[in-house]
């Protein structure tokens, strides 16, 4: 149904750039991998817009790590496995929780300032955590702090070269091995970036949905190109919807951090009643999927399109502890210190992605992935809050270590590489913007928080029609992203239809129970399917 490449090319006619390690993406996973890999060879980082345009920059709540006096990696592991609802890979989780604290301290050594209480880090709590273990910076600007430190380090590192405004189109695969990417420069020139190892740290795909907390760059490009190239994709049906995105008609769905609930804010329904204690013993700090479904239930009962998050108990401390949320709400005419914030769920995080082992290796030699683009198995069916920044560090570091031997290969192998892609392009009458809008509407209504076979089947039928768009030669970055969104939408809907049970973030109205007997395994999709 989809072409192997979005555009035709002949490598012998294509300008080339060489490096030892190529990293695509400039969030925490990409930059940390790049810095670590620069100890072993020359690293090039490609990023689609500016360095700071990533999900990392928008992360508020923080980064989870078992560093508190009462905490331990064992407890962190238990919480992660419980949230993952039986689908986490235990080895990967063990690596995450055991190596996490060291990575966080490395980040501190690089210059990241996390908030402190006295001599100790100030740790907050988020949903489904049994301990306070979330480090945060400048209140709710954790991602910004990390991104600034890593960007500065990468920019001043002699071993890392960063190219901004580069839209990657496809992977270059020869003999089953990955040798880099084909990419478009801002002036439209198509260039081959060739390397011994390519790391896709391209982030998530929140833009699949009409309502998302993700920035506009989150179009899942790395996942889609890996799929086209033959990489194994896992668990694409598991999309996390964050319960509390700001709900003001016509405005972006700005994230209202879960840490607010960790510090005492509560959800109230249109009748002004607190409702979460009726739905889960952990009340407002229940797992995100439970909270999001409870909110839908209360919205339906109250004929409303949003719920309220009441953080007024924080009073004058609100602005100091959550400055970003405070300022943003004020900008939209809501004073969260004295009135509740209108919120509704929005697509937030992709648990599935490019299948990797615990060293970030994919099934294609020379291709690695980490961060949200990857599925190493630490999140299972539902990610524990604030585990994602940690994942980027831990597995980025492991990838760097596992790539180091590759620089000994003969440079002739790269220089002599020949490859021609000709698949025949087809004209498309509509615009990329219209196709994208249709995908986002369809995903929100049919492949969202509540799913069933009829809705998923209808979505797949429409996506099959839209697949023709992926055969048109994309002449703009928007068109490349849209082709990727069409492909990923299909993978998410298809995986969601295959899994006939409810588990974690995947809820089927027609199969509402978890079914361990038949579905305790990953959903795997490959391009040949």
Positions annotated as catalytic residues are 288
We find the least distance from the C-beta atom of residue 130 to ligand SIN, in angstroms, to be: 16
Written as six digits, the tokens of 92 are 């990967």
Residue 234 CB, shortest distance to ligand SIN, in Å, is 20
* Residue 202 touches ligand SIN, criterion: CB under 6 A: no
C-alpha distances (whole Å) from 233 to each of 48, 149, 351, 364, 525 are: 22, 32, 11, 12, 5
Say if strands 353-355 and 341-350 run parallel, antiparallel, or are unpaired: unpaired
Candidates 257, 438, 446, 484; binder of ligand SIN (CB under 6 A) is 257
Range 46-65, binding ligand SIN (CB under 6 A): 60-61
Q: What phi and psi values does residue 286 have, to the nearest 5 degrees?
A: -70, 165
Contact 439, 463 (CB under 8 A): yes
d(CA 235, CA 355): 9
Task: Based on the shown chain and the rule CB under 6 A, indicate whether residue 128 belongs to the binding site for ligand SIN.
Answer: no
Helix axes 73-83, 90-110, angle to 10 degrees: 120
Q: Does residue 487 interact with ligand SIN by CB under 6 A?
A: no
According to the binding rule CB under 6 A, does residue 259 interact with ligand SIN?
Answer: yes
Q: Tokens at residue 236, please?
A: 């694409």
Q: Does 328 bind ligand SIN (CB under 6 A)?
A: no
In this chain, which stretch among 106-114, 225-233, 251-259, 354-362 interacts with ligand SIN, using CB under 6 A?
251-259
The distance of closest approach from Cβ of residue 322 to ligand SIN in the complex, given in angstroms and rounded to an integer, is 10
Stretch that binds ligand SIN, among 257-265, 301-309, 396-404, 445-453 (CB under 6 A): 257-265
Only segment of 290-298, 385-393, 438-446, 472-480 that touches ligand SIN (CB under 6 A)? 385-393
Residue 506 is classified by DSSP as B
From candidates 80, 386, 470, 502, binder to ligand SIN by CB under 6 A? 386
CB of 338 to ligand SIN, least distance (A): 22
Q: Per CB under 6 A, does 89 bind ligand SIN? A: no
The 8-class DSSP code of residue 209 comes to: S
Using CB under 6 A, which of the segments 171-179, 254-262, 311-319, 505-513 binds ligand SIN? 254-262
Stretch that binds ligand SIN, among 93-101, 384-392, 431-439, 460-468 (CB under 6 A): 384-392
- As a residue count, the chain comes to 529
Q: For residue 171, state whether it binds ligand SIN (rule: CB under 6 A).
A: no
Binding-site member from 56, 80, 388, 495 for ligand SIN (CB under 6 A): 388
Q: Is 258 in the site for ligand SIN (CB under 6 A)?
A: yes
Tell which phi-psi region holds residue 25, choosing left (phi > 0), alpha (psi between -120 and 50) or beta. left
Structure-token match 């089947």, residue found: 457
Q: How far apart are CA 220 and CA 289, in angstroms?
A: 22
Three-state secondary structure of 31-55: HHHHHHHCCCCCEEEECCCCCCCCH
Q: Does 382 contact ligand SIN by CB under 6 A? A: no
- Identify which of residues 226 and 385 has a Cβ nearer to ligand SIN in the complex: 385
Residue nearest ligand SIN (C-beta atom)? 61
- DSSP track, 424-463: ------S-HHHHHHHHHHHHHHHSSSSB-HHHHHHHHHHH
Query: In sequence order, what are the beta bridge partners of 239?
Result: 350
Candidates 173, 283, 385, 403; binder of ligand SIN (CB under 6 A) is: 385
Question: Closest separation between CB of residue 525 and ligand SIN, Å?
Answer: 25
Q: Rounded distance, CA 365 to CA 173, Å? A: 9
Residue 134: its H or E element: strand 134-135
Binding stretches for ligand SIN (CB under 6 A): 60-61, 257-259, 385-386, 388
């Amino acid at each position: 149904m989809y072409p192997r490449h979005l555009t035709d090319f002949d490598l012998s006619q294509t300008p080339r750039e060489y490096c030892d390690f190529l990293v695509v993406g400039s969030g925490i996973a990409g930059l940390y991998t790049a810095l670590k890999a620069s100890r072993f060879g020359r690293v090039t980082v490609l990023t689609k817009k500016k360095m700071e345009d990533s999900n990392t920059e928008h992360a508020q709540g923080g980064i989870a790590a078992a560093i508190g006096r009462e905490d331990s990696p064992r407890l962190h592991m238990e919480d992660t496995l419980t949230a993952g609802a039986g689908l986490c890979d235990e080895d990967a989780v063990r690596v995450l929780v055991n190596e996490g604290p060291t990575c966080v301290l490395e980040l501190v050594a690089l210059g990241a300032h996390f908030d402190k209480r006295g001599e100790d880090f100030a740790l907050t709590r988020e949903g489904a955590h049994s301990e306070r273990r979330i480090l945060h910076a400048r209140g709710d600007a954790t991602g910004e702090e990390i991104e600034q430190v890593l960007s500065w380090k990468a920019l001043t590192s002699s071993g890392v070269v960063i190219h901004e405004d580069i839209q990657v189109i496809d992977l270059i695969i020869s003999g089953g091995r990955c040798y880099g990417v084909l990419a478009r420069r801002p002036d439209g020139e198509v260039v081959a970036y060739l390397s011994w190892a390519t790391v896709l740290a391209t982030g998530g795909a929140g833009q699949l949905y009409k309502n998302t907390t993700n920035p506009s760059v989150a179009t899942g490009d790395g996942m889609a190109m890996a799929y086209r190239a033959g990489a194994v994709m896992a668990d694409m049906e598991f999309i996390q919807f964050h319960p509390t995105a700001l709900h003001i008609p016509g405005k972006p769905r700005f994230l209202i951090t879960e840490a607010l609930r960790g510090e005492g804010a509560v959800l109230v329904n249109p009748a002004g009643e607190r409702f979460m204690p009726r739905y889960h013993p952990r009340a407002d700090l229940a797992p995100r999927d439970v909270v999001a479904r409870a909110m839908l239930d209360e919205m339906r009962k109250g004929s409303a399109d949003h719920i309220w998050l009441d953080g007024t108990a924080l009073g004058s401390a609100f602005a100091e502890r959550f400055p970003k949320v405070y300022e943003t709400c004020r900008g939209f005419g809501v004073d969260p210190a004295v009135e509740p914030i209108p919120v509704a769920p929005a697509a937030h995080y992709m648990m599935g992605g490019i299948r990797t082992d615990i060293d970030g290796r994919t099934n294609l030699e020379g291709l690695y992935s980490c961060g949200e683009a990857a599925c190493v198995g630490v999140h299972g069916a539902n990610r524990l809050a604030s585990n994602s920044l940690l994942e980027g560090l831990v597995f980025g570091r492991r990838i760097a270590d596992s790539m180091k031997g590759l620089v000994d290969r003969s440079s002739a192998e790269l220089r002599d590489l020949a490859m021609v892609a000709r698949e025949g392009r087809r004209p498309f009458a509509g615009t990329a913007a219209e196709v994208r809008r249709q995908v986002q509407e369809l995903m929100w209504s049919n492949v969202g928080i509540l799913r069933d076979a009829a809705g998923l089947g209808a979505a797949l039928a429409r996506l099959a029609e839209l697949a023709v768009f992926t055969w048109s030669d994309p002449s703009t970055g928007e068109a490349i992203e849209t082709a990727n969104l069409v492909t990923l939408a299909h993978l998410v809907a298809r995986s969601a239809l295959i899994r006939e049970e409810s588990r974690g973030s995947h809820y089927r109205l027609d199969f509402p129970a978890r079914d361990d007997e038949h579905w305790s395994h990953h959903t795997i999709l490959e391009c040949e399917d």
